[in-house]
Amino acid sequence: MKNLAPLAGRPLIDYCVAAGRATKCISRLMCSTDSDVIAMHCRQLGVENHPRPVELGADDIPLFDVIVQLLEDVTEREGAVAELLALLQPTSPFILPEHVEQCVRGLNNNVDAASAQTLIPCPHNHHAYNQRVIKDGWVAFCFPDERRSAYNKQSKPRHFLFGNVVVFRIKTALEQGTVFAEPSLAYEVPPIFGFDCDGPEDFRIGELLLKSALVQLPHL
């Protein structure tokens, strides 16, 4: 029940719902869940509930499988689905409405783009060239050749991490089997908006960020 755990006094899922509701480009909010408790909470927020089959409720189920099932069900019941879908995940509480709008605007302005996503800069210590693996108790760089030629921050190519918003063309995503359908537009956002609230420590960090006003969410 992590999605209902309180973050600074609000259930975690409320943050992405508020961001979605505040955007000017989203016309329909849906929550896919196999939990009656979460479904009831979403209905209280005015969010449409889509029952998720039990077999798609396990932690190791690919997210794309859930999306496919939802789209197939909506198509069967309503005859069609929207052209674009924005994925807003409860563990991404610091989504801003303007980040979603930027992605949608990019897709509307570029018919060749299949998706649009926000990105945050990868911290130097997390860079792929700095990553290690452990084999038989010994540690080694994952990419030793690249590490030798790019040993400091200045010499490494810029890498990015997912910034927690992706909007995609449904038709192309289904054809490619991924929400990050290519070609994908990139929108860099400040690192703090890529915050992922997944475990107990993250909740404590998230509350500190909110209480200190290091991150501000005017749509709440």
Per-residue pLDDT reduced to its tens digit, 141-166: 999 999 999 989 899 999 999 999 99
> What's the Cα-to-Cα distance from 35 to each of 76, 135, 197, rounded to whole Å?
23, 41, 20
The Cα–Cα gap between 149 and 145 comes to: 7
Q: What are phi and psi of 41, to 5 degrees?
A: -65, -40
pLDDT per position as a tens digit, 54-94 = 787 777 788 899 999 999 999 999 999 999 999 999 999 99
Task: Determine the pLDDT at residue 58.
Answer: 72
The HSE-up count of residue 37 (CA atoms within 13 Å, CB side) is 7
The reported pLDDT for the residue numbered 157 is 95
Find out whether the peptide bond into 183 is cis, omega within 30 degrees of 0: yes
**Percentage, residues of the chain above pLDDT 90:** 91
Question: Is pTM, for the whole model, over 0.75?
Answer: yes
Q: What's the pLDDT score for residue 170?
A: 97
In the chain, the percentage of residues whose pLDDT exceeds 70 is 100
Q: By the 8 A CB rule, do 191 and 120 touch?
A: yes
- For the chain, list the domains and their CATH numbers: 2-122+158-211 (3.90.550.10)
Average confidence score pLDDT of the chain? 95
CA dist., res. 99 & res. 22, Å (int): 11
Residue 161 CB neighbours (<10 A): 14
Calculate the dihedral angle through the C-alpha atoms of 124, 129, 152, 126, rounding to the nearest 10 degrees.
10
pLDDT tens digits, 175-193: 999 999 999 999 999 999 9
Residue 56 has what DSSP assignment?
G
Q: Is pLDDT above 90 for 123?
A: yes
pLDDT level of residue 139 (50, 70, 90 thresholds)? very high
Phi, psi torsion values for 166, nearest 5 degrees: -140, 135
Residue 108 clears pLDDT 90, i.e. is over it? yes
